[in-house]
Structure 1
């Protein structure tokens, strides 16, 4: 009897882990994410609207960041945030800079590669989980 319960528990655990893994894959399964190697060889890919997209390459590239930057937002949703929305308002005075620095968290939409379809939210000034 104990042996049967043990095997039943193991099978249930495997099913739970398998189902949760499948759900995670579905969240990002349709999102196109170019590799670093591809970007280094070909530059950032371009969507139908003419916007470049991909991860921030940091110091690996001389060219600017893409228009749509790969980000992981709220509820672990992976998508693209628009660079102009991430940058936010530019302060014109030191006082404005202090005010912006002390402002509450703000949300930025996460988009699919098309730059139009909103798939999630990325927070600036708050931990994204």
Structure 2
């Protein structure tokens, strides 16, 4: 009887340890968000349109930012903003730079991981709440 209880305890412990492992890609609602650990080990994941997605890793990585950058927008909606849309137009002269710097806030769509489905809005030059 003791032997059976011992084996049952070992099996239960193994199941608990196996089930408690940290997820490498988690979902928030239906939004897929890769973890920092996953990105450091594997690079950014890629969606069906071959766009990379995930949080901006800052100085943690040598590779470029993903095509779709994890962002929290208006009404606290979390989604992905396209890097090219976040970057906006590039000034060609100092005068253009001043003009862009003084321009009104601009709206950038927030997408699902597919890079097509718009789920919210992110504002540049305005506080997103």
Give the TM-score range, shorter chain. Answer: 0.7 to 0.9
More strand by share: 2
Assess, with a 3 A threshold, how the Cα gap between structure 1 residues 60 and 8 changes in structure 2: closer, same or farther.
Answer: closer
* Alpha-carbon distance in 1 for matches of 2:99, 2:6: 59
User: How many pairs were matched up?
Assistant: 129
Unmatched 5+ stretches in structure 1 = none
Task: Classify the secondary structure of the residue corresponding to 1:120.
Answer: strand
TM-score, scaled to structure 2? 0.79
TM-score (norm: length of structure 1):
0.79
- In the TM superposition, residue 28 of structure 1 has moved relative to its aligned partner by 3.9
Q: How far 1:46 moved relative to its partner?
A: 0.0
Q: Deviations over 1:69-114 (max 9, x none)?
A: 0000000000000000000000000000000000000000000000
Q: Unpaired segments of 5 or more residues in structure 2?
A: none
The ranges of structure 1 where at least 4 consecutive aligned residues each deviate by more than 3 angstroms after the TM superposition are 1-28
Q: CA RMSD in A?
A: 9.3
* Equivalent residues of 1:27, 1:77 under 8 A apart: no
